[in-house]
Amino acid sequence: MALRLFVERGPDVPFTEIAKEAGVGVGTVYRHFPAREDLIEAAYRSELDAVCAAAGELLAEMPPADALRVWMDRFVDYWATKIGLTDAIRAVVAAGGNPFAQSRERLDDVVGELLSATAAAGVTRPEVDPDDVVVSLSGIAMVAGVLEEREQVGRVLDLLYEGLRARP
């Protein structure tokens, strides 16, 4: 809830509104997040946790090839939220925080898990470096914020996905 408010209204959303959205008292918010930057960082990390957890969930629900492609879409959604939090994240960094600590490592690990599963299934090339995929997805996601046509984003992700595929 706080995340949505930060994305929609920026880093200066009053704690009273955040508390109201969450259905708790403002004292509860202050108790858990004494500084606004703490709440912003927690909201961002929650999004990172969700996109990372999605990989394992998708692998449990569907074939690895499908899981990877669906996760790529989820990554773009995560990145769009991250872009929406730009002003709020700047406030965290200005206060000395580092909301991105270990983000890249975690994403590399998750993509590595997806690529291991797809390579074992013979779908993707085993030599693909997870960090190369994270960088590629990040570039697509950065442009996706400018592109207003989600269909084009899907086509670009399909191009990347096809580039990962194993060749006969």
CB neighbours of residue 15 within 10 Å: 16
CB atoms under 10 Å from CB of 62, counted, come to 13
pLDDT tens-digit series, residues 107-131: 999 999 999 999 999 999 999 999 9
Alpha carbon distance 111, 134 (integer Å): 7
Q: Quick check: pTM over 0.85?
A: no
Domains and CATH numbers, the chain: 36-164 (1.10.357.10)
Q: Residue 78: count other Cβ atoms within 10 Å of its Cβ.
A: 21
- Express each pLDDT in 7-58 by its tens digit: 777 778 787 888 888 788 888 877 888 777 888 888 888 889 999 999 999 9
**In sequence order, what E strands does the chain have?**
none
